[in-house]
Amino acid sequence: MAEWLGLLPAFPLAGFLALVLTGGRLPRRIAGVIGVGSVALSFLLALIVASSYLTGAAEPVTVTLWTWMSAGAFAPGFSFYLDGLSVVMILIITGVGFLIHLYSTGFMADDPGFARFFSYMNLFVASMLILVLADNLVLLYLGWEGVGLCSYLLIGFWYDNPANGAAARKAFVVTRVGDTSMAIGLFLLFSELGTLDIQQVLSVAGAEWEIGSGVAVAAAALLLGGAVGKSAQLPLQTWLPDAMAGPTPISALIHAATMVTAGVYLIARTHVLFELAPSVQLLVAFVGLLTLLMAGFTALMQRDIKRILAYSTISQIGYMFLALGVGAWSAAIFHLMTHAFFKALLFLAAGTVILSLHHEHDIFRMGGMRKRLPLAFWSFVIGSAALTALPFTSGFYSKDEILLAALAQPDYGMLLWLGGVLGAFLTALYSFRLVFVAFFGPMHFIQEADDAHHGPVREITGIPMALPLVVLALLSLVGGFIPVPVDAVFASATEHAEAHPSVLLHGIMIAIPIIGVLISWLLYGERQGAASQRQRFATMPGAGFLQRLWVNGWYMDALYDALLVKPFVAIARLNRHDLVDQGVTFSSFLAQVGNRLLVLTQTGNLRWYGVSMVAGLVVVLAIGAWL
Amino acid sequence: MESIPYEHGLILAAMLFVCGLVGVLTRRNIVFVLLSLEIMLNACGLAFVVGSARWGDAEGQAMFVMILTLAAAEVAVGLGLIIQMYRRFQTVDISVLNEMKG
Amino acid sequence: MTLLFYLASAAALLATLAVITSTHVVHALVYLIVSLLAVAVIFFVLGAPFAAMLEAIVYAGAIMVLFLFVMMMLNLGQTTAQEEREWLQPRTWVGPSVLVLVLLLQLGRVLVGEHTEIMPVEVGVRELSLLLFGPYLLAVELASMLLLAGLIAAYHVAKK
């Protein structure tokens, strides 16, 4: 069955080509069938491959399609590598991808760029599959760049609005910083190890490099740079909130379930390198910790429904980085999977809300929607419950594992654990703030809309939109029981110490999210004293400063603008008249001057021409006779 | 028979040539320009025949025959052009022929 | 013979000068015929009778007559003579004359080298024909093609 592996990215790629080559002239039904069908086929194939892998010997398989390039000793192939980790990833990508594609047929039904949307989505799925199946780092980089491109194309999908284009460019440029770091890391690995085949890199590096040696630290740090960029962690997280300018299904697919997890996948794949550089691995954990706290505080103050979810994504990936940093590789992948379920669910439900309310994003202008939008309401409740890690949801099990692993870290265990628990509290606070403000309380928007000519607000769903919500809700609830077959992949990893915390700590871990939900209800719930409670918090000293700080994302955008953008623009303005270009136009200027001088000899006068000929003859004879 | 110095023949040819040249450069009537051109051609033929006499060869005369042919063809076409010019401009002043200016 | 050579040279030079300074077209043409005939005499003195004949018959006889025909057809007579007198101010001669004198001096410098005497050996028709039908056959053919081209061109250019 492994021979069919090559077909996995081929189906979406064929879908992309079919939709692009027909130039959007296909009728919607057919474009939708091609777009969704190709991913559905990939999902079926992934199921078949996964089942044969898991029921078989469960040995890693390499399938080489062809040799990509051959330059001396460097001959990477277009080859795919199947083991437990890639099985998990392809199932997530094709499965959640298929559901989101199905949802999009309903969400984008009225959009004129319907076929273009599905072509980009298919290209994205193909690139992501190449990324996770890649046998060598060069092919992985191909997929990496491919998903970056599709992210750019899809964020700026509604290109008529220049703000969307700006957001797309910002995403591309910021991730490019990370990509450059990763490319330099690849160069370093190749020059040191002579190969970029992942398994070979891991074994050779493990054999030859000492733990903590400079080259290992450098390579791991550079790869971390790439991961940080793609996964929107500190300091390259500024692009993700702006990326919400794109249509909601792509926020669900790219910026929640798959692309932003590419960084986590990269670190997990090259885990040996990180184990060889413990300082960098610790850095991974702290990056994750700081990011999850920062994003958590910021999400607390946002008003746009998608921005709350965006910061929530940044925060959750911070948890995955935390897990990677303490060596809990399986826990990170497990959380990746559960996060894909409930975050996609939340985004798709948010899409339903936005569509039903005619593109209203501000939660404080919504209210009391649980009666009119029942499916969205229950999706949000289930998704937020999983996000908050309330007991027995999928998020509960994955976050639990991460926090236990963090506690076991020898040097900073308690600090990391406390940070993680604080993060869980914040998560509960902001996610249920969203639920209470949007779905409970007085019906602001619905009142207005009912009076206006839009007609009564009712939920916009059809089968294509409802089915994915239901399926994802189920997965968010029971996904915690799905075994993640990645232990064999990380078998070589040094065993992280199992933590056996006291009953008190365990109890705190479980209780904190519930306490968070209660406090959230106190402040935002549908009750009498809620508004006055919020007022009390708002008037506390320093509250205004904190509020502004968190709303503006800790002013990181402003910082980058002042530190990087403005100097760059100033330097570019220096060269406003483009010195290099002037050097080139100077030659044409010389030609024009020469022309104007020579034109003076074209008098049209016959005798003048005769005289000039004779004069030339005289000169030549003079030279000839007297030399 | 006395002999004739070779250089004198060539200098005569040079002087005739130069006369024709000054005629081309000075005159404004196109007929005179063509006439001066004929003088120059004749001078070249003279130079060739002088050379042929110096070496006792007939090759210079063969070249003279070619020059004669050339002069004939050139005069024919040139006169045709003069006729056209006269028809078009009603004058034989060459200063009307300056449309290639600039 | 040498005396004849120098006399004919003087005649040719004077006639040529008269051509270029003349104001009347037909006068100039006749002066040119005189010059050409003087050159024919020079050819004869140099021992090239066939060249002399050709000069007289073809050049003076055919080409100049062609000129005369066209001049009479265009009737460029008295009208242009007046124009010419206006155009030919002495100051128009200065520039070209200086330039041309420099050229003459250079030519003189270049052409006067070894002092050789010409023995007026008669190179007759026979030698010339042997050359023309021998090595220079191609040149003769090309010359005839040139004449053909000249004929067609002259016909076309002079058409109404």
**How many domains does the structure of chain A reveal?**
2
**Cβ contact (<8 Å) for B100 and A604?**
yes
- Which residues are CB-neighbours of A251 under 8 A, at least 6 positions away? A243, A244, A306, A309, A310, A347
Whether residue C94 is contained in a domain is answered as: no
Distance of alpha carbon C99 from alpha carbon C92, whole angstroms: 13
Distance, CA of A468 to CA of A340 (rounded, Å): 13
Residue carrying the six token digits 């949000």? A380
pLDDT at A457: 64
Which chain B residues are within 8 Å of A607, Cβ to Cβ?
A: 25-26, 28, 94
Among the listed residues B4, B7, B15, B57, the one whose alpha carbon sits nearest the alpha carbon of residue C115: B7
- Name the residue among B24, B33, B100 with its Cβ closest to that of A602: B100
Taking CA–CA distances from A621, the nearest residue in chain C reads C106
Instruction: Quote the Cα angle for A216-A221-A222, to 5°.
Output: 105
Domain of residue C140, residue span: 124-160
CB neighbourhood size of C114 (10 A): 6
As beta bridge partners, residue A61 has A82
Of A539, A566, A589, the residue at which a domain comes to its end is A539
Q: Do C13 and C81 sit in the same domain of this protein?
A: yes
Residue C4 lies in a domain: yes
Among A539, A568, A594, give the residue marking a domain's end.
A539
Residue-level pLDDT at A7: 87
Among A403, A306, B25, smallest CA distance to C103 is for: B25
Q: What is the pLDDT of residues A535-593, one digit of tens each?
A: 777 777 777 788 888 888 788 888 888 888 888 899 888 888 878 888 889 999 999 99
Nearest-Cα distance to chain C for B51, in Å, is 9
For residue range A476-492, what is the model confidence (pLDDT) as tens digits? 888 888 877 777 777 66
Q: Which of A485, A507, A539 is the last residue of a domain?
A: A539
Domains identified in chain C, total number: 2
CA separation for the pair C32, B23 (Å, rounded): 13
Interface of B with C in 57-76 (CB under 8 A): 57-59, 61-62, 64-66, 68-76
- Give me the amino acid identity at A60: P
How far apart, in whole angstroms, are the C-alpha atoms of residue A333 and residue A87?
A: 12
Other beta carbons within 10 Å of A358: 12
For residues A354 and A458, state if they share a domain.
yes
Asked if B24 lies within 8 A of A603 by C-beta distance, the reply is no
Q: CA-based angle A432:A433:A435, to the nearest 5? A: 60
Residue C79 lies in a domain: yes
Contact between A88 and A132 under an 8 Å Cβ cutoff? The reply is: no
Q: Which of C40, C115, A237, A220 is nearest to B6 (CA)?
A: C115
Q: Report chain A residues whose CB lies below 8 A from the CB of B22.
A: none
Bridge partners for A197 per DSSP:
A136
| Closest C-alpha to A438, from A380, A502, A503 | A380
Tell whether A120 is covered by a domain.
no
Complex ipTM value: 0.91
Q: What does the alpha-carbon distance between residue B74 and residue A447 come to, in Å, rounded to a whole number?
A: 102
User: Do residues C77 and C156 both lie within one domain?
Assistant: no
pLDDT in tens, A238-257: 899 888 888 999 989 887 77
Residue A496 has pLDDT above 60, yes or no: no
Q: Would the CB atoms of C107 and A615 count as touching at under 8 Å?
A: no
Residue A226 domain flag = no
User: CB-CB: which of C99, C100, C106 is closest to A625?
Assistant: C106
pLDDT in the model for residue A165:
92
Q: Is residue A128 part of a domain?
A: no
Of C72, C87, C102, the residue that ends a domain is C87
Chain B: touching chains (3 or more CB pairs < 8 Å)? A, C
Supply the Cα-derived Rg of chain A in whole angstroms: 30
Q: Tell which of C20, C103, C111 to mutate to test the A interface (max A CBs under 10 Å).
A: C103
CB–CB of A172/A148 below 8 Å? yes
Contact A123, A12 (CB under 8 A): yes
Pairs of residues, one from chain A and one from chain C, whose beta carbons lie less than 8 Å apart: 22
CB atoms within 10 A of CB A49: 23
3-state secondary structure A327-393: CCHHHHHHHHHHHHHHHHHHHHHHHHHHHHCCCCCEHHHCCCCCCCCHHHHHHHHHHHHHHHCCCCC
Final residue belonging to a domain, choices C87, C113, C136: C87
Supply the pLDDT for residue B1.
47
CA geometry: angle at A22 spanning A16 and A24, to 5°? 85
Q: Would the CA dihedral through A152, A154, A160, A163 be positive or negative?
A: negative
pLDDT tens, residue by residue, B6-28: 888 999 999 999 999 999 999 88
Q: pLDDT for A269-295, tens place per residue?
A: 998 888 888 899 999 999 999 999 999
Q: Let me know whether C65 and C132 are in one domain.
A: no
Residue carrying structure tokens 């013979």: C1
Q: What is the pLDDT of residue A497?
A: 55
User: In terms of domains, do A429 and A294 share one?
Assistant: yes
* Higher per-residue pLDDT: A501 or A231: A231
Q: Which of A192, A184, A195 is nearest to A214 (CA)?
A: A192
The answer to whether the CB of A43 falls within 8 A of the CB of A92 is no
Judged against a pLDDT cut of 90, whether residue A187 lies above it is answered with yes
Rounded Cα gap, residues A554 and A556, in angstroms: 5
The crossing angle, in degrees rounded to 10, of helices A374-388 and A329-356 is 160
Which of C106, C109, C112 should we substitute to test contact with A (largest number of A Cβ atoms within 10 Å)? C106
Residue A510 has pLDDT above 80, yes or no: yes
**Claim to verify: residue A433 and residue A512 sit in the same structural domain:** yes
- CATH classification of the domain holding C74: 1.20.120.1200
Q: Which residues of C touch B71 (CB under 8 A)?
A: 59, 63
User: Same domain, yes or no, for A341 and A472?
Assistant: yes
d(CA A611, CA C92): 13
Average pLDDT estimate for A152-168: 91
Q: What is the CATH number of domain B31-91?
A: 1.10.287.3510
A309 and A362 housed in the same domain: yes
Q: Tell me, yes or no, whether A518 and A411 share the same domain.
A: yes
Structural domain range at position A535: 279-539
- C-alpha C97/C-alpha C90 separation (Å) is 11
Q: In 3D, which of A278, A346, A614, A422 has the Cα closest to residue C101?
A: A614
C146, two tokens: 């040139």
Q: Shortest CA distance to A52 belongs to which of A82, A94, A79?
A: A82
Res A455: pLDDT: 58
Contact A243, A250 (CB under 8 A): no
Residue A435 lies in a domain: yes
What are the structure tokens assigned to A8, written together? 């996995």
**Residues A394, A453 within the same domain:** yes
**Closest CA–CA distance from residue B100 to any residue of chain C (Å):** 20
pLDDT at residue A524, as a whole number: 82
Cα–Cα nearest to B49, from C61, C1, C140, C53: C53
Mean pLDDT of chain A: 86
Which of C32, C65, C87 represents a domain boundary (last residue)?
Answer: C87
pLDDT attached to residue C79: 67
- Residues B43-82: tens digit of each pLDDT: 999 999 998 988 888 899 999 999 999 999 999 999 999 9
Asked whether residue C16 falls in the same domain as residue C68, the answer is: yes
Residue A495, pLDDT > 60, answer no
Amino acid occupying residue A398: S
Query: CA nearest B63: which of B49, B53, B75?
Result: B49
Q: Do A130 and A160 meet the contact criterion of CB atoms below 8 Å apart?
A: no
Q: Smallest Cβ distance to A625: which of C96, C99, C110?
A: C110
* Residue numbers in chain C where pLDDT is lower than 70: 77-81, 114, 118-120
- Using a CB-CB cut-off of 8 Å, the residues of chain A touching B97 are 604, 606
Task: Kindly state the DSSP code that residue A73 receives in the 8-state scheme.
Answer: T
Q: Does the CB of C94 have a partner CB in chain A at under 8 Å?
A: no
C-alpha span between A17 and C11 (Å, rounded): 94
CA C95 to chain centre: 24
User: Alpha-carbon distance A253 to A121, whole Å?
Assistant: 9
pLDDT tens for C114-124 read: 677 766 678 88
